[in-house]
Structure 1
């Protein structure tokens, strides 16, 4: 398998205090993405982070 065939359907999204949203990263599994979100929370990041599947709300 090469990089062009890897599917990364899970996104970590960050929303700042002004409501701006940013894609933090793409991951192969929901569990992997959730570990990233949990890590930000454990380190005291104050922004809102969540996991989203590509296409779940019209995003791609």
Structure 2
């Protein structure tokens, strides 16, 4: 099973956060976040790393 530790998160104007997708590399997650950020919406896209070993 492939590990996908990088997550793109969208935060709306009300502070609600939604997981957009999980990715294998930070670079891939950054490309997705950058592409989504250019659509002109007032959403904030961030990248986070998920701890795969957390219980």
TM-score (norm 2): 0.85
- Runs (4+) off by over 2 Å: none
Q: CA deviation at 1:42?
A: 1.7
Structure 1 unaligned residues grouped into runs of 5+ = none
Q: Which of the residues 23, 32, 37 maps onto 1:36? A: 32
Q: Which runs of 5+ in 2 are unaligned?
A: none
Q: Which has the higher helix share?
A: 1
Aligned residues: 53
Larger CA Rg, structure 1 vs 2: 1
TM-score (norm 1): 0.78
